Structure 1
Protein backbone atom coordinates (compact mmCIF):
# COMPACT_ATOMS: atom_id res chain seq x y z
CA UNK A 1 0.00 0.00 0.00
CA UNK A 2 1.32 3.42 -0.97
CA UNK A 3 2.25 5.77 1.87
CA UNK A 4 4.05 9.07 2.48
CA UNK A 5 5.79 10.40 5.55
CA UNK A 6 5.64 14.15 6.15
CA UNK A 7 6.04 16.60 8.99
CA UNK A 8 8.48 16.18 11.84
CA UNK A 9 11.00 13.37 11.73
CA UNK A 10 12.05 13.11 15.37
CA UNK A 11 10.74 10.14 17.31
CA UNK A 12 9.36 12.31 20.10
CA UNK A 13 6.64 13.82 17.90
CA UNK A 14 3.34 11.89 18.02
CA UNK A 15 2.20 10.38 14.70
CA UNK A 16 -0.98 11.38 12.87
CA UNK A 17 -2.45 8.98 10.30
CA UNK A 18 -4.62 10.57 7.59
CA UNK A 19 -7.16 8.38 5.73
CA UNK A 20 -8.79 9.95 2.67
CA UNK A 21 -12.33 9.68 1.31
CA UNK A 22 -14.00 7.73 -1.47
CA UNK A 23 -12.23 8.00 -4.82
CA UNK A 24 -9.51 10.27 -3.45
CA UNK A 25 -5.90 9.88 -2.31
CA UNK A 26 -3.28 11.04 0.16
CA UNK A 27 -2.89 14.19 -1.96
CA UNK A 28 -6.21 15.51 -0.63
CA UNK A 29 -4.60 16.31 2.73
CA UNK A 30 -2.19 18.89 1.28
CA UNK A 31 -3.84 21.87 3.07
CA UNK A 32 -3.34 20.17 6.44
CA UNK A 33 0.32 19.19 6.04
CA UNK A 34 1.86 22.54 6.99
CA UNK A 35 0.05 23.22 10.28
CA UNK A 36 0.00 19.60 11.48
CA UNK A 37 3.55 18.95 10.28
CA UNK A 38 4.91 21.55 12.69
CA UNK A 39 3.95 19.40 15.69
CA UNK A 40 3.43 15.85 14.43
CA UNK A 41 4.89 13.09 12.33
CA UNK A 42 2.42 12.61 9.48
CA UNK A 43 1.59 9.36 7.72
CA UNK A 44 -0.62 9.52 4.63
CA UNK A 45 -1.79 6.53 2.61
CA UNK A 46 -3.64 5.75 -0.58
CA UNK A 47 -6.26 3.23 0.51
CA UNK A 48 -6.41 -0.07 -1.43
CA UNK A 49 -7.35 0.48 -5.08
CA UNK A 50 -6.95 4.26 -4.86
CA UNK A 51 -4.44 6.00 -7.14
CA UNK A 52 -1.02 4.52 -6.25
CA UNK A 53 -2.27 1.52 -4.25
CA UNK A 54 -3.29 -1.60 -6.16
CA UNK A 55 -6.83 -2.95 -5.96
CA UNK A 56 -6.61 -6.27 -4.09
CA UNK A 57 -7.86 -9.44 -5.72
CA UNK A 58 -10.08 -10.31 -2.78
CA UNK A 59 -13.41 -8.56 -2.20
CA UNK A 60 -12.90 -5.00 -1.03
CA UNK A 61 -14.40 -4.37 2.42
CA UNK A 62 -13.90 -1.80 5.15
CA UNK A 63 -12.57 -4.57 7.36
CA UNK A 64 -10.01 -5.61 4.72
CA UNK A 65 -8.87 -2.01 4.24
CA UNK A 66 -8.44 -1.55 7.99
CA UNK A 67 -6.47 -4.79 8.12
CA UNK A 68 -4.08 -3.49 5.46
CA UNK A 69 -3.64 -0.20 7.30
CA UNK A 70 -2.97 -2.14 10.50
CA UNK A 71 -0.34 -4.23 8.69
CA UNK A 72 1.33 -1.08 7.33
CA UNK A 73 1.51 0.48 10.80
CA UNK A 74 3.09 -2.74 12.05
CA UNK A 75 5.55 -2.77 9.15
CA UNK A 76 6.59 0.83 9.89
CA UNK A 77 6.74 0.16 13.66
CA UNK A 78 4.39 3.09 14.24
CA UNK A 79 3.49 3.93 17.86
CA UNK A 80 -0.16 4.67 18.77
CA UNK A 81 -1.34 7.32 16.31
CA UNK A 82 -3.94 10.04 16.15
CA UNK A 83 -6.16 8.77 13.31
CA UNK A 84 -8.04 11.25 11.10
CA UNK A 85 -10.47 9.76 8.59
CA UNK A 86 -12.71 11.47 6.03
CA UNK A 87 -15.82 9.68 4.71
CA UNK A 88 -14.56 6.26 3.54
CA UNK A 89 -11.37 6.86 5.52
CA UNK A 90 -13.45 7.56 8.62
CA UNK A 91 -15.11 4.16 8.38
CA UNK A 92 -11.68 2.55 7.92
CA UNK A 93 -10.35 4.49 10.91
CA UNK A 94 -13.31 3.43 13.02
CA UNK A 95 -12.77 -0.22 12.09
CA UNK A 96 -9.06 0.14 12.90
CA UNK A 97 -9.89 1.53 16.35
CA UNK A 98 -12.23 -1.41 16.96
CA UNK A 99 -9.94 -4.19 15.73
CA UNK A 100 -6.62 -2.76 16.98
CA UNK A 101 -7.36 -0.32 19.83
CA UNK A 102 -3.71 -0.20 20.90
CA UNK A 103 -2.90 1.38 17.52
CA UNK A 104 -5.19 4.39 17.93
CA UNK A 105 -4.40 7.20 20.34
CA UNK A 106 -7.37 9.30 19.27
CA UNK A 107 -9.93 9.17 16.48
CA UNK A 108 -11.31 12.01 14.36
CA UNK A 109 -14.20 11.06 12.07
CA UNK A 110 -15.14 13.63 9.43
CA UNK A 111 -18.45 13.05 7.62
CA UNK A 112 -18.13 9.34 8.38
CA UNK A 113 -20.52 6.74 9.73
CA UNK A 114 -20.84 3.42 11.52
CA UNK A 115 -23.64 2.50 9.13
CA UNK A 116 -24.57 4.19 5.86
CA UNK A 117 -28.19 5.22 6.27
CA UNK A 118 -30.59 6.34 3.54
CA UNK A 119 -29.73 9.83 2.24
CA UNK A 120 -32.28 12.61 2.00
CA UNK A 121 -34.26 13.01 -1.24
CA UNK A 122 -31.71 15.26 -2.93
CA UNK A 123 -28.84 13.05 -1.83
CA UNK A 124 -30.65 9.94 -3.06
CA UNK A 125 -31.17 11.46 -6.50
CA UNK A 126 -27.51 12.45 -6.73
CA UNK A 127 -26.42 8.94 -5.72
CA UNK A 128 -28.72 7.43 -8.35
CA UNK A 129 -27.30 9.79 -10.98
CA UNK A 130 -23.78 8.90 -9.87
CA UNK A 131 -24.44 5.18 -10.28
CA UNK A 132 -25.97 5.72 -13.73
CA UNK A 133 -22.93 7.75 -14.80
CA UNK A 134 -20.61 5.05 -13.47
CA UNK A 135 -22.31 2.64 -15.85
CA UNK A 136 -22.18 4.73 -19.01
CA UNK A 137 -19.72 7.63 -18.72
CA UNK A 138 -15.93 7.94 -18.46
CA UNK A 139 -14.54 8.56 -14.97
CA UNK A 140 -13.68 12.13 -15.92
CA UNK A 141 -17.42 12.86 -16.26
CA UNK A 142 -18.20 11.06 -12.99
CA UNK A 143 -15.43 13.03 -11.28
CA UNK A 144 -16.82 16.36 -12.52
CA UNK A 145 -20.35 15.43 -11.37
CA UNK A 146 -19.24 14.35 -7.89
CA UNK A 147 -16.92 17.34 -7.46
CA UNK A 148 -19.70 19.78 -8.42
CA UNK A 149 -21.84 18.34 -5.64
CA UNK A 150 -19.00 18.76 -3.14
CA UNK A 151 -17.94 22.26 -4.18
CA UNK A 152 -20.85 24.05 -5.91
CA UNK A 153 -19.96 27.65 -5.04
CA UNK A 154 -17.95 29.93 -7.37
CA UNK A 155 -15.46 30.71 -4.59
CA UNK A 156 -14.76 26.97 -4.33
CA UNK A 157 -13.50 26.70 -7.92
CA UNK A 158 -9.97 25.79 -6.81
CA UNK A 159 -11.26 22.99 -4.57
CA UNK A 160 -13.53 21.81 -7.39
CA UNK A 161 -10.59 21.49 -9.78
CA UNK A 162 -8.54 19.60 -7.19
CA UNK A 163 -11.44 17.21 -6.57
CA UNK A 164 -11.92 16.57 -10.30
CA UNK A 165 -8.23 15.73 -10.67
CA UNK A 166 -8.24 13.46 -7.62
CA UNK A 167 -11.45 11.60 -8.44
CA UNK A 168 -10.45 11.28 -12.09
CA UNK A 169 -7.46 9.14 -11.09
CA UNK A 170 -9.73 6.49 -9.55
CA UNK A 171 -10.75 3.48 -11.61
CA UNK A 172 -14.41 2.68 -12.14
CA UNK A 173 -13.96 -0.70 -10.42
CA UNK A 174 -12.31 0.80 -7.34
CA UNK A 175 -15.11 3.35 -7.04
CA UNK A 176 -17.85 0.72 -7.35
CA UNK A 177 -16.07 -1.70 -5.01
CA UNK A 178 -15.61 1.06 -2.41
CA UNK A 179 -19.30 1.99 -2.58
CA UNK A 180 -20.12 -1.68 -2.03
CA UNK A 181 -17.78 -1.78 0.96
CA UNK A 182 -19.45 1.27 2.50
CA UNK A 183 -22.96 -0.12 1.97
CA UNK A 184 -21.99 -3.43 3.63
CA UNK A 185 -20.23 -1.84 6.62
CA UNK A 186 -22.12 -1.81 9.93
CA UNK A 187 -20.27 -1.14 13.18
CA UNK A 188 -23.20 0.15 15.22
CA UNK A 189 -23.28 -2.80 17.62
CA UNK A 190 -19.58 -2.32 18.40
CA UNK A 191 -19.45 1.44 18.95
CA UNK A 192 -19.37 1.00 22.72
CA UNK A 193 -15.99 -0.67 22.33
CA UNK A 194 -14.26 2.44 20.98
CA UNK A 195 -11.87 3.19 23.82
CA UNK A 196 -9.99 6.26 22.59
CA UNK A 197 -11.02 9.95 22.66
CA UNK A 198 -13.13 10.52 19.56
CA UNK A 199 -14.10 13.69 17.69
CA UNK A 200 -17.01 13.47 15.24
CA UNK A 201 -17.30 16.21 12.61
CA UNK A 202 -20.26 16.58 10.23
CA UNK A 203 -20.92 19.07 7.47
CA UNK A 204 -24.13 21.05 7.77
CA UNK A 205 -25.00 20.43 4.10
CA UNK A 206 -23.75 16.85 3.79
CA UNK A 207 -26.49 14.87 2.03
CA UNK A 208 -24.92 11.49 2.81
CA UNK A 209 -24.23 11.82 6.54
CA UNK A 210 -26.78 14.10 8.16
CA UNK A 211 -25.78 16.49 10.93
CA UNK A 212 -28.50 15.03 13.17
CA UNK A 213 -27.13 11.50 12.83
CA UNK A 214 -23.79 12.58 14.31
CA UNK A 215 -25.12 14.78 17.13
CA UNK A 216 -23.74 13.98 20.55
CA UNK A 217 -23.38 16.11 23.67
CA UNK A 218 -21.25 18.11 24.11
CA UNK A 219 -21.16 19.27 20.49
CA UNK A 220 -19.72 22.43 18.96
CA UNK A 221 -21.40 23.96 15.92
CA UNK A 222 -19.11 26.01 13.72
CA UNK A 223 -20.89 27.14 10.52
CA UNK A 224 -19.89 28.16 7.98
CA UNK A 225 -16.55 26.50 7.27
CA UNK A 226 -16.47 26.30 3.49
CA UNK A 227 -12.78 25.59 3.08
CA UNK A 228 -10.03 23.60 4.81
CA UNK A 229 -8.28 26.83 5.76
CA UNK A 230 -11.33 28.32 7.52
CA UNK A 231 -11.99 25.03 9.30
CA UNK A 232 -8.36 24.84 10.42
CA UNK A 233 -8.49 28.35 11.87
CA UNK A 234 -11.65 27.56 13.80
CA UNK A 235 -10.25 24.27 15.10
CA UNK A 236 -7.11 26.02 16.31
CA UNK A 237 -9.28 28.08 18.67
CA UNK A 238 -11.01 25.03 20.16
CA UNK A 239 -9.73 22.35 22.49
CA UNK A 240 -11.43 19.18 23.69
CA UNK A 241 -10.66 17.13 26.77
CA UNK A 242 -12.04 13.59 26.95
CA UNK A 243 -14.30 12.89 29.94
Structure 2
Protein backbone atom coordinates (compact mmCIF):
# COMPACT_ATOMS: atom_id res chain seq x y z
CA UNK A 1 0.00 0.00 0.00
CA UNK A 2 1.12 3.54 -0.73
CA UNK A 3 0.14 6.67 1.22
CA UNK A 4 -0.13 9.70 -1.04
CA UNK A 5 -1.30 13.29 -0.79
CA UNK A 6 -2.51 16.01 -3.14
CA UNK A 7 -3.06 19.49 -1.71
CA UNK A 8 -3.54 18.00 1.78
CA UNK A 9 -6.04 15.46 0.42
CA UNK A 10 -4.70 12.12 1.61
CA UNK A 11 -5.36 8.70 0.13
CA UNK A 12 -4.18 5.09 0.10
CA UNK A 13 -3.50 3.35 -3.20
CA UNK A 14 -2.60 -0.21 -4.09
CA UNK A 15 -0.39 0.58 -7.10
CA UNK A 16 2.05 3.43 -7.56
CA UNK A 17 2.33 4.81 -10.07
CA UNK A 18 -1.18 4.19 -11.37
CA UNK A 19 -1.18 1.35 -13.90
CA UNK A 20 -2.95 2.64 -17.04
CA UNK A 21 -3.86 -0.85 -18.26
CA UNK A 22 -6.02 -1.44 -15.16
CA UNK A 23 -9.36 0.18 -14.29
CA UNK A 24 -9.22 2.59 -11.36
CA UNK A 25 -11.55 2.38 -8.37
CA UNK A 26 -11.93 5.39 -6.07
CA UNK A 27 -13.39 4.29 -2.72
CA UNK A 28 -15.38 6.94 -0.82
CA UNK A 29 -16.09 6.37 2.86
CA UNK A 30 -19.23 6.92 4.87
CA UNK A 31 -20.10 9.72 7.29
CA UNK A 32 -17.66 10.02 10.19
CA UNK A 33 -15.49 7.21 8.80
CA UNK A 34 -12.25 7.17 6.80
CA UNK A 35 -10.15 5.09 4.41
CA UNK A 36 -9.68 2.37 7.04
CA UNK A 37 -13.19 1.07 6.45
CA UNK A 38 -11.96 -0.15 3.04
CA UNK A 39 -9.03 -2.28 4.21
CA UNK A 40 -10.62 -5.51 2.98
CA UNK A 41 -11.34 -3.94 -0.42
CA UNK A 42 -7.83 -2.52 -0.77
CA UNK A 43 -6.47 -6.01 -0.20
CA UNK A 44 -9.12 -8.00 -2.03
CA UNK A 45 -9.47 -5.92 -5.20
CA UNK A 46 -5.84 -4.94 -5.79
CA UNK A 47 -5.29 -7.58 -8.49
CA UNK A 48 -8.29 -6.36 -10.49
CA UNK A 49 -7.75 -2.60 -10.44
CA UNK A 50 -5.86 0.42 -9.21
CA UNK A 51 -7.65 0.87 -5.89
CA UNK A 52 -7.63 4.29 -4.22
CA UNK A 53 -9.21 4.83 -0.78
CA UNK A 54 -9.69 8.55 -0.31
CA UNK A 55 -10.00 10.50 2.93
CA UNK A 56 -12.44 13.35 2.44
CA UNK A 57 -11.57 16.77 3.95
CA UNK A 58 -11.61 16.73 7.74
CA UNK A 59 -10.94 12.99 7.99
CA UNK A 60 -7.80 11.03 8.93
CA UNK A 61 -5.11 11.64 6.27
CA UNK A 62 -7.05 14.73 5.10
CA UNK A 63 -7.66 16.14 8.59
CA UNK A 64 -5.84 19.38 7.73
CA UNK A 65 -7.64 19.92 4.44
CA UNK A 66 -9.73 23.08 4.85
CA UNK A 67 -12.24 22.25 2.11
CA UNK A 68 -15.97 22.55 2.60
CA UNK A 69 -17.69 19.48 3.99
CA UNK A 70 -20.68 19.06 1.70
CA UNK A 71 -21.69 16.43 -0.84
CA UNK A 72 -21.11 18.82 -3.75
CA UNK A 73 -17.70 19.92 -2.44
CA UNK A 74 -16.67 16.31 -1.86
CA UNK A 75 -17.47 15.49 -5.50
CA UNK A 76 -15.28 18.42 -6.56
CA UNK A 77 -12.43 17.05 -4.41
CA UNK A 78 -12.60 13.82 -6.40
CA UNK A 79 -12.38 15.67 -9.71
CA UNK A 80 -9.33 17.56 -8.45
CA UNK A 81 -7.67 14.30 -7.42
CA UNK A 82 -8.44 12.69 -10.78
CA UNK A 83 -6.91 15.65 -12.57
CA UNK A 84 -3.78 15.37 -10.43
CA UNK A 85 -3.54 11.66 -11.30
CA UNK A 86 -4.28 12.28 -15.00
CA UNK A 87 -7.38 10.08 -14.81
CA UNK A 88 -9.99 10.86 -17.44
CA UNK A 89 -12.45 8.43 -15.88
CA UNK A 90 -12.79 6.24 -12.81
CA UNK A 91 -15.18 3.78 -11.23
CA UNK A 92 -16.49 5.42 -8.07
CA UNK A 93 -17.33 3.16 -5.12
CA UNK A 94 -19.24 4.82 -2.29
CA UNK A 95 -20.63 3.56 1.00
CA UNK A 96 -23.59 5.37 2.62
CA UNK A 97 -22.59 9.08 2.47
CA UNK A 98 -19.93 8.03 -0.04
CA UNK A 99 -22.71 6.72 -2.27
CA UNK A 100 -24.32 10.15 -2.16
CA UNK A 101 -21.00 11.64 -3.28
CA UNK A 102 -20.93 9.15 -6.17
CA UNK A 103 -24.41 10.16 -7.31
CA UNK A 104 -23.52 13.86 -7.06
CA UNK A 105 -20.31 13.25 -9.02
CA UNK A 106 -22.13 11.40 -11.80
CA UNK A 107 -24.67 14.23 -12.03
CA UNK A 108 -22.11 17.03 -12.14
CA UNK A 109 -19.30 15.32 -14.07
CA UNK A 110 -20.92 12.60 -16.21
CA UNK A 111 -17.99 12.41 -18.63
CA UNK A 112 -15.68 11.37 -15.79
CA UNK A 113 -17.89 8.66 -14.29
CA UNK A 114 -16.97 5.37 -15.91
CA UNK A 115 -19.29 3.52 -13.53
CA UNK A 116 -20.67 3.62 -9.99
CA UNK A 117 -20.79 1.09 -7.17
CA UNK A 118 -23.35 2.24 -4.62
CA UNK A 119 -23.22 0.45 -1.27
CA UNK A 120 -25.98 0.80 1.32
CA UNK A 121 -27.00 4.27 0.27
CA UNK A 122 -29.88 6.24 -1.21
CA UNK A 123 -30.82 9.23 -3.32
CA UNK A 124 -32.02 11.02 -0.17
CA UNK A 125 -30.40 10.55 3.25
CA UNK A 126 -32.54 12.08 5.98
CA UNK A 127 -30.86 12.39 9.40
CA UNK A 128 -32.78 12.78 12.64
CA UNK A 129 -31.87 15.90 14.71
CA UNK A 130 -31.47 13.67 17.77
CA UNK A 131 -28.50 11.96 16.14
CA UNK A 132 -26.68 15.26 15.64
CA UNK A 133 -27.39 16.17 19.26
CA UNK A 134 -26.02 12.86 20.47
CA UNK A 135 -22.80 13.26 18.48
CA UNK A 136 -22.20 16.66 20.10
CA UNK A 137 -23.38 15.82 23.61
CA UNK A 138 -22.29 12.21 24.16
CA UNK A 139 -19.89 10.96 21.51
CA UNK A 140 -19.14 7.63 23.27
CA UNK A 141 -22.89 6.88 23.28
CA UNK A 142 -23.00 7.71 19.57
CA UNK A 143 -20.18 5.23 18.93
CA UNK A 144 -22.00 2.52 20.89
CA UNK A 145 -25.21 3.21 18.97
CA UNK A 146 -23.44 3.02 15.61
CA UNK A 147 -21.77 -0.27 16.50
CA UNK A 148 -25.12 -1.71 17.53
CA UNK A 149 -27.09 -0.40 14.53
CA UNK A 150 -24.63 -0.88 11.67
CA UNK A 151 -23.30 -4.37 12.43
CA UNK A 152 -25.21 -7.63 12.69
CA UNK A 153 -26.15 -9.07 16.06
CA UNK A 154 -23.26 -11.11 17.39
CA UNK A 155 -20.68 -9.54 15.07
CA UNK A 156 -17.19 -10.91 15.67
CA UNK A 157 -14.89 -8.94 18.00
CA UNK A 158 -12.31 -8.66 15.21
CA UNK A 159 -14.90 -6.53 13.37
CA UNK A 160 -16.50 -4.70 16.31
CA UNK A 161 -13.29 -3.44 17.90
CA UNK A 162 -11.63 -2.00 14.76
CA UNK A 163 -14.92 -0.36 13.77
CA UNK A 164 -15.34 1.25 17.19
CA UNK A 165 -11.72 2.43 17.03
CA UNK A 166 -12.37 3.88 13.57
CA UNK A 167 -15.39 5.82 14.86
CA UNK A 168 -13.40 7.17 17.80
CA UNK A 169 -10.85 8.60 15.36
CA UNK A 170 -13.43 11.06 14.03
CA UNK A 171 -13.31 14.76 14.87
CA UNK A 172 -16.70 15.57 16.41
CA UNK A 173 -17.36 18.68 14.34
CA UNK A 174 -16.34 16.88 11.14
CA UNK A 175 -18.70 14.02 11.98
CA UNK A 176 -21.53 16.49 12.57
CA UNK A 177 -20.84 18.23 9.27
CA UNK A 178 -20.89 14.88 7.46
CA UNK A 179 -24.34 14.05 8.80
CA UNK A 180 -25.55 17.58 8.06
CA UNK A 181 -24.33 17.07 4.50
CA UNK A 182 -26.26 13.80 4.32
CA UNK A 183 -29.38 15.49 5.67
CA UNK A 184 -29.19 18.17 2.95
CA UNK A 185 -28.68 15.61 0.17
CA UNK A 186 -31.60 14.93 -2.17
CA UNK A 187 -31.08 13.73 -5.75
CA UNK A 188 -34.41 11.97 -6.23
CA UNK A 189 -35.31 14.19 -9.18
CA UNK A 190 -32.18 13.65 -11.29
CA UNK A 191 -31.46 9.93 -11.08
CA UNK A 192 -32.73 9.34 -14.61
CA UNK A 193 -30.04 11.68 -15.93
CA UNK A 194 -27.27 9.33 -14.76
CA UNK A 195 -26.36 7.11 -17.70
CA UNK A 196 -23.17 5.34 -16.62
CA UNK A 197 -23.36 1.69 -15.50
CA UNK A 198 -24.13 1.24 -11.83
CA UNK A 199 -23.98 -1.65 -9.38
CA UNK A 200 -26.31 -1.08 -6.45
CA UNK A 201 -25.42 -3.20 -3.42
CA UNK A 202 -27.77 -3.36 -0.46
CA UNK A 203 -27.51 -5.35 2.77
CA UNK A 204 -30.40 -7.56 3.83
CA UNK A 205 -30.34 -6.45 7.49
CA UNK A 206 -29.38 -2.79 6.99
CA UNK A 207 -31.32 -0.62 9.46
CA UNK A 208 -29.89 2.73 8.31
CA UNK A 209 -30.40 2.43 4.55
CA UNK A 210 -32.73 -0.56 4.09
CA UNK A 211 -32.74 -2.53 0.82
CA UNK A 212 -35.77 -0.58 -0.39
CA UNK A 213 -33.40 2.41 -0.78
CA UNK A 214 -31.17 0.39 -3.09
CA UNK A 215 -34.09 -1.09 -4.99
CA UNK A 216 -35.38 2.43 -5.66
CA UNK A 217 -31.97 3.50 -6.95
CA UNK A 218 -31.74 0.49 -9.24
CA UNK A 219 -35.27 1.10 -10.55
CA UNK A 220 -34.52 4.74 -11.35
CA UNK A 221 -31.02 4.37 -12.83
CA UNK A 222 -31.30 3.34 -16.47
CA UNK A 223 -28.14 1.22 -16.62
CA UNK A 224 -28.01 -0.57 -13.28
CA UNK A 225 -28.09 -3.92 -11.54
CA UNK A 226 -29.20 -4.65 -7.99
CA UNK A 227 -27.62 -7.13 -5.58
CA UNK A 228 -28.60 -7.84 -1.97
CA UNK A 229 -25.91 -9.18 0.35
CA UNK A 230 -27.70 -11.76 2.46
CA UNK A 231 -27.19 -11.69 6.22
CA UNK A 232 -25.31 -8.37 6.10
CA UNK A 233 -25.98 -5.05 7.84
CA UNK A 234 -24.93 -1.48 7.05
CA UNK A 235 -21.19 -2.11 7.44
CA UNK A 236 -21.17 -4.91 4.86
CA UNK A 237 -17.80 -3.86 3.30
CA UNK A 238 -16.15 -4.60 6.66
CA UNK A 239 -18.32 -7.44 7.96
CA UNK A 240 -18.99 -9.29 4.67
CA UNK A 241 -15.98 -8.36 2.54
CA UNK A 242 -15.86 -11.55 0.48
CA UNK A 243 -19.40 -11.12 -0.84
CA UNK A 244 -18.92 -7.39 -1.46
CA UNK A 245 -15.57 -7.89 -3.19
CA UNK A 246 -16.94 -10.66 -5.39
CA UNK A 247 -19.86 -8.51 -6.51
CA UNK A 248 -17.51 -5.64 -7.36
CA UNK A 249 -15.07 -7.96 -9.17
CA UNK A 250 -17.91 -9.44 -11.25
CA UNK A 251 -19.06 -5.92 -12.11
CA UNK A 252 -15.55 -4.86 -13.19
CA UNK A 253 -15.27 -7.99 -15.35
CA UNK A 254 -18.62 -7.22 -16.94
CA UNK A 255 -17.54 -3.67 -17.71
CA UNK A 256 -14.34 -5.00 -19.28
CA UNK A 257 -16.22 -7.47 -21.49
CA UNK A 258 -18.63 -4.77 -22.61
CA UNK A 259 -15.76 -2.42 -23.47
CA UNK A 260 -14.01 -5.19 -25.42
CA UNK A 261 -17.14 -5.93 -27.46
CA UNK A 262 -17.72 -2.25 -28.19
CA UNK A 263 -14.10 -1.81 -29.29
CA UNK A 264 -14.25 -4.88 -31.54
CA UNK A 265 -17.36 -3.60 -33.35
CA UNK A 266 -16.26 0.03 -33.61
Q: What's the CA shift string for 1:52-104, capped at 9, x where partnerless?
A: 21366565210011111111111121231111100011111111111111211
Conserved? CA contact 1:98–1:190, under 8 Å: yes
Alignment map for 1:164-183 (pairs within 5 Å): 164-183=164-183
Conserved? CA contact 2:126–2:182, under 8 Å: no
Alignment map for 1:46-195 (pairs within 5 Å): 46-54=55-63, 59-117=68-126, 128=130, 130-137=131-138, 139-195=139-195
Q: For structure 1, list consecutive stretches of 5 or more residues without a partner in the other structure.
A: 119-123
Supply the distance in 1 between the matched residues of 2:94 and 2:144 (Cα, whole angstroms): 23
Supply the distance in 1 between the matched residues of 2:166 and 2:38 (Cα, whole angstroms): 11
User: How far off its partner does 1:152 sit?
Assistant: 4.7
User: How far off its partner does 1:155 sit?
Assistant: 3.7
> Which 4+ residue blocks in structure 1 deviate beyond 3 angstroms?
54-59, 216-222, 236-243
Give the one of 240, 244, 250 matched to 1:228: 240
1:205 corresponds to = 205
Conserved? CA contact 1:55–1:174, under 8 Å: no
1:4 corresponds to = 12
The normalised TM-score by structure 2 is 0.77
Supply the distance in 2 between the matched residues of 1:104 and 1:221 (Cα, whole angstroms): 23
Supply the distance in 2 between the matched residues of 1:136 and 1:236 (Cα, whole angstroms): 38
CA distance 1:10–1:236, shift in 2 (3 Å) = closer
Supply the distance in 2 between the matched residues of 1:103 and 1:39 (Cα, whole angstroms): 20
SS of the residue corresponding to residue 75 of structure 2 reads: helix
1:121 corresponds to = none
Supply the distance in 1 between the matched residues of 2:152 and 2:88 (Cα, whole angstroms): 40
Q: What's the CA shift string for 1:32-68, capped at 9, x where partnerless?
A: 1222101211111101111221366565210011111
Supply the distance in 1 between the matched residues of 2:175 and 2:140 (Cα, whole angstroms): 13
Q: For structure 2, list consecutive stretches of 5 or more residues without a partner in the other structure.
A: 1-8, 220-224, 259-266
Conserved? CA contact 1:5–1:42, under 8 Å: yes
CA distance 1:189–1:231, shift in 2 (3 Å) = same
- Ranked by relative contact order (alpha carbons within 8 Å, sequence separation 6 or more), the top structure is 1
CA distance 1:145–1:81, shift in 2 (3 Å) = same
The normalised TM-score by structure 1 is 0.84
CA RMSD for the aligned pairs?
A: 2.7
